Amino acid sequence: APDMVNIPWASNQAVSQSLPVQSQHMENCFAEHEPQDAKSPVAIFQSSGITPFASLGAGPIRAAQVMNGIPYFLSGGTVYSVDKNGVGTILGGQISGNGYVPSSNNGTQLIFVNGTNGYVWAQATGFQVITDANFHPASAVTFFDNVFVLNNAANNQWFISNSLDGTSYNGLAFA
């Protein structure tokens, strides 16, 4: 078996004016050097005093997006928005599964895909399952050039939504 390579993670808090000399910086955590016989020479711990900002359902957090300055989260199967005071608002949804859910947004719609179904939330229409016959189960999504670009989980093809509309798809728009 090949030898394991130890990765030299950030192990101090110093930041030099010359980044090539010292560019390591840690946020909300601190490093402690461990004894010589430890599994790793450095352990990273969360800083004390970090408090939760918002409580969103039973979790876990499966997706996160920021649209127009507002953070949105998928907790368990439910979509939430969070205001500046950390107050979560249930927006709807019942997204199946329990793992990570790829998501994206176009400025007016949030889209979530779980490998089986697609879901869209918009202020104007609320939460809905994508029912277009030309939508395929997808496990990846991004927004590019006014369309959502998704993979077809069944093959090596990609397909796109209609312009600025994550709920409608053209059956001939694939690659």
Q: What is the pTM of this model?
A: 0.72
Average of per-residue pLDDT values in the chain:
87
pLDDT tens by residue, 103-156: 999 999 999 999 999 999 999 999 999 999 999 999 999 999 999 999 999 998
Other CB atoms within 10 Å distance of the CB of residue 104: 21
**What's the pLDDT band for 14 if we cut at 50, 70, 90?**
low
Question: Cis omega (within 30 of 0) on the bond before 52?
Answer: no
pLDDT tens by residue, 17-75: 665 655 566 777 777 878 888 887 788 887 776 678 889 999 999 999 999 999 999 99
10-16, long-range: CB within 8 Å, 24+ apart, which pairs? 10/44, 11/41, 11/42
- Total residue count of the chain as it appears in this document: 175
CA separation, residue 78 to residues 61, 90, 111 (Å): 10, 7, 13
pLDDT tens by residue, 118-131: 999 999 999 999 99
